[in-house]
Amino acid sequence: MLSTFVIVLTTMPAEDAAAALARTLVEERLAACVNIIGGVTSVYRWQGEVQQDRECQLLIKTREDLVEPLSERLRALHPYEVPEFLVLPVAGGSNAYLAWLAESLPGADGRSPTADR
């Protein structure tokens, strides 16, 4: 069960945009939960220049087989030209939390991740 869950990282420019994206991903069952961490400072190179911006970091909890539809949906909704999209494996967790993740994602009840769109 452990190897099927992943955490996807992305950033958003503002908390309201982050909350809207998070709600959409959970409502569409592409994510079980999205944590929004506000007040993140990102320093990065973009188009040959070093940039610094305030952003929100999103931690998206999902399942490995949902990564591709999640990626497509995130690209469609995201305001950045090249949004962060990093997939990290979940190496462990409490049995109760992992069971909740499984129940919160499609498959437990046979519903498609896009059924509510």
Enter the pTM of the model.
0.89
DSSP state of 32: S
| Residue 99 phi, psi (nearest 5) | -65, -40
Q: How confident is the model at residue 112 (pLDDT cuts 50, 70, 90)?
A: low
Instruction: With a cut of 50, say whether residue 24 has pLDDT above it.
Output: yes
From its phi and psi, is residue 87 left (phi > 0), alpha (psi between -120 and 50) or beta? Answer: beta
Instruction: With a cut of 80, say whether residue 3 has pLDDT above it.
Output: no
Instruction: With a cut of 50, say whether residue 1 has pLDDT above it.
Output: no
Nearest CA to 35 out of 44, 49, 23 is that of 23
Q: What is the mean pLDDT of the chain?
A: 92
Structure confidence by residue, pLDDT tens digits, 25-77: 999 999 999 999 999 999 999 999 999 999 999 999 999 999 999 999 999 99
Domains of the chain: 2-104 (3.30.70.120)
Q: How confident is the model at residue 107 (pLDDT cuts 50, 70, 90)?
A: confident
Distance of CA 112 to CAs 29, 44, 49, 93, 94, Å?
Answer: 8, 37, 42, 25, 26
